[in-house]
């Protein structure tokens, strides 16, 4: 039996329900069954969350960093102890196969809690000698941070935002996507069990309007959003009106470049991981697979063979490798992109339909003969649809890879490491891989350039985005006033 959250919100250390908020259903994408009915946050719930966070943050910031870290490390240990239960809940919330949720979602969240637990006590200011006088700096928390999550990695996103925020002395109010509201509630419950004082991590449910209400509240010092470019632009503008800090983790149309000296097996495997994992609902996916002309026929043959062997089915069956999309609406959107690609003249290599697994499935789909101007090469699909494009020269592929508004990620496969570094240096992307794809360990900064966002999550880089610097000039001599 899965211990599902028993109310819609988690505020001031406890589950809270307010049935005055509009009801919405949580649907298991594997079958379409309703697994919970929650309510959107009312003004009373939002007010309690913000007031509680502002109140709790002051005491929390005064604690020693090592104490804050100890609580986060305890939460990570609880997550690892309950790994199987949490993986099952994540699968029911998202439809992603158990094979993935056991190793990727909550485990990555636990990594973030452990990493920032350890990092917090090492965050110090600096001393700047000025001869007689000196300056010292203090890295202070920002205050109340707002986290807004997308539906593809709900628990990981909640952990990636909560871990640095809390470790560095902030409080957080988190609004999950209303499609996947359960994991963040579990995180709140686990943090409370680990000893996090009430009010420091609150979860409020709702659609975009609840997010918009939170973004413009005077008590919010920072907004960290994971979502689409369109939503990012709206949230960034609303945050700017109040001069709030932002981290924006947005969408992409990332290039994965395969030179003809690459290991074919590895390049095909990476292209599949970078398009079919989580049924393609990964922001950093390498959805424009540029393959050098000489290797392309063999690449497509092996790709088609391995894609045909992917095992789609019940996400809760441990043997299943490929699950449904998060919702019927997302499935229909992906199917429209598939129809459009065929209409624009791309060649369907495999997939293209819904298969016969039930739920909101779209088959793993590959198109070849995709050109740069086709919709499939320009817009983010957020589904299991790979576009294979052909190229001849290094200069050509760099120019084509960069010809997009996005800049989240990029990958290069080649045996020539000098070429790999040369190409990576020219690619406009925040997160890159050489002979690997979509690995995002907490030790690495993660984020995009251009329309794909700003700020970085994970790694030491996140410290800058959850703290601000106070500079203190210390005068040790007489004040020399000219009057």
Instruction: Point out the annotated binding site for K(+).
Output: 27, 93, 450, 453
**What sign results for the dihedral spanned by CA atoms 175, 179, 185, 186?**
negative
* From 40, 114, 161, 296, active-site residue: 161
* From 90, 100, 363, 457, active-site residue: 457
Rounded to a whole number of angstroms, the distance between the first and last alpha carbons of the chain is 79
- In the complex, least distance from residue 223 CB atom to ligand NDP, rounded to whole angstroms: 8
For residue 161, indicate whether it is catalytic. yes
- In the complex, least distance from residue 111 CB atom to ligand NDP, rounded to whole angstroms: 16
Work out the burial of residue 404: count CB atoms within 10 Å of its CB; fewer than 13 is exposed, 13-18 middle, 19 or more buried: buried
The binding site consists of 27, 93, 149-151, 175-178, 251, 283, 380, 450, 453
The binding site for NAD(+) consists of 149-151, 175-178, 251, 283, 380
Q: Cβ(384)–Cβ(279) under 8 Å?
A: yes
- In the complex, least distance from residue 438 CB atom to ligand NDP, rounded to whole angstroms: 12
Nearest to 187 by CA among 89, 265, 94, 263: 89
Using the structure block, give the residue that is written with the tokens 């290094």: 394
Q: How many helices (H) and strands (E) does the chain have?
A: 16, 20
- In the complex, least distance from residue 138 CB atom to ligand NDP, rounded to whole angstroms: 30
Residue nearest to ligand NDP (CB): 211
For 348, the token pair is 């369907």
The phi, psi pair for 454, rounded to 5°, reads -150, 160
Contacts of 396 (CB under 8 A, 6+ apart): none
For residue 457, indicate whether it is catalytic. yes
For residue 249, indicate whether it is catalytic. yes
C-alpha span between 201 and 53 (Å, rounded): 7
* From 114, 249, 296, 350, active-site residue: 249
- In the complex, least distance from residue 219 CB atom to ligand NDP, rounded to whole angstroms: 16
- Among residues 251 and 364, whose Cβ is nearest to ligand NDP? 251
Nearest to 185 by CA among 2, 458, 1: 2
Q: Cβ(16)–Cβ(9) under 8 Å?
A: yes
- Among residues 97 and 227, whose Cβ is nearest to ligand NDP? 227
- Among residues 249 and 363, whose Cβ is nearest to ligand NDP? 249
* From 283, 296, 350, 363, active-site residue: 283
Residues lying near ligand NDP in the complex (CB under 6 A): 148-152, 175, 177-178, 207-208, 211-212, 215, 226-228, 231, 234-235, 249-251, 283, 380, 382, 408, 448, 453
Q: Which residues are catalytic?
A: 161, 249, 283, 457
């Amino acid at each position: 039996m899965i211990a599902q959250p028993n109310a819609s919100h988690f505020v001031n250390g406890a589950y809270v329900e307010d049935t005055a908020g509009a009801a919405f259903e949580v649907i298991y994408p594997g079958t379409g069954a309703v697994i919970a009915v929650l309510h959107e946050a009312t003004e009373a719930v939002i007010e309690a969350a913000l007031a509680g966070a502002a109140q709790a943050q002051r005491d929390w910031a005064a604690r020693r960093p090592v104490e804050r870290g100890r609580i986060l490390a305890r939460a990570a240990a609880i997550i690892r102890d309950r790994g199987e239960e949490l993986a099952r809940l994540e699968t029911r919330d998202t439809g992603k196969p158990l094979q993935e949720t056991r190793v990727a979602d909550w485990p990555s969240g636990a990594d973030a809690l452990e990493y920032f637990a350890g990092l917090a006590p090492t965050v110090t200011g600096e001393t700047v000698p000025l001869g007689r006088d000196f300056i010292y700096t203090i890295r202070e928390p920002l205050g109340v941070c707002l986290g807004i999550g997308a539906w593809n990695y709900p628990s990981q996103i909640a952990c990636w935002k909560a871990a640095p925020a809390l470790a560095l002395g902030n409080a957080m109010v988190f609004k999950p996507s209303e499609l996947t509201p359960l994991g963040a509630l579990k995180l709140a419950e686990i943090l409370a069990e680990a000893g996090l004082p009430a009010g420091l991590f609150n979860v409020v449910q709702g659609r975009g309007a609840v997010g918009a209400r939170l973004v413009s509240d005077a008590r919010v010092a920072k907004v960290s959003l994971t979502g689409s470019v369109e939503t990012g632009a709206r949230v960034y503008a609303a945050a700017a009106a109040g001069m709030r800090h932002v981290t924006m983790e947005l969408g992409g149309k990332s290039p994965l470049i395969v030179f003809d000296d690459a290991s074919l097996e590895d390049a095909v495997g990476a292209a599949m991981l970078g398009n079919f994992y989580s049924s393609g609902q990964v922001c950093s996916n390498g959805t424009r697979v540029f393959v050098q002309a000489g290797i392309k026929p063999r690449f497509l043959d092996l790709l088609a063979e391995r894609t045909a062997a992917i095992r789609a089915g019940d996400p809760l069956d441990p043997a299943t490798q490929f699950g449904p999309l998060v919702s019927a609406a997302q499935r229909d959107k992906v199917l429209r992109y598939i129809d459009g690609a065929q209409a624009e003249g791309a060649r369907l290599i495999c997939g293209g339909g819904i298969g016969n697994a039930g739920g909101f499935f779209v088959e793993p789909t590959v198109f070849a003969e995709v050109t740069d101007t086709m919709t499939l090469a320009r817009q983010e699909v957020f589904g299991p649809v790979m576009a294979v494009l052909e190229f001849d020269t290094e200069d050509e592929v760099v120019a084509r890879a960069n010809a997009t508004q996005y800049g989240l990620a990029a990958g290069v496969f080649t045996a020539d490491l000098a070429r790999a570094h040369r190409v990576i240096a020219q690619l406009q992307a925040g997160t890159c891989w050489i002979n690997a794809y979509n690995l995002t360990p907490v030790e690495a900064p993660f984020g995009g350039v251009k329309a794909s966002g700003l700020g970085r999550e994970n790694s030491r880089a996140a410290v800058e985005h959850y703290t601000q610097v106070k500079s203190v000039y210390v005068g040790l001599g007489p004040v020399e006033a000219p009057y």
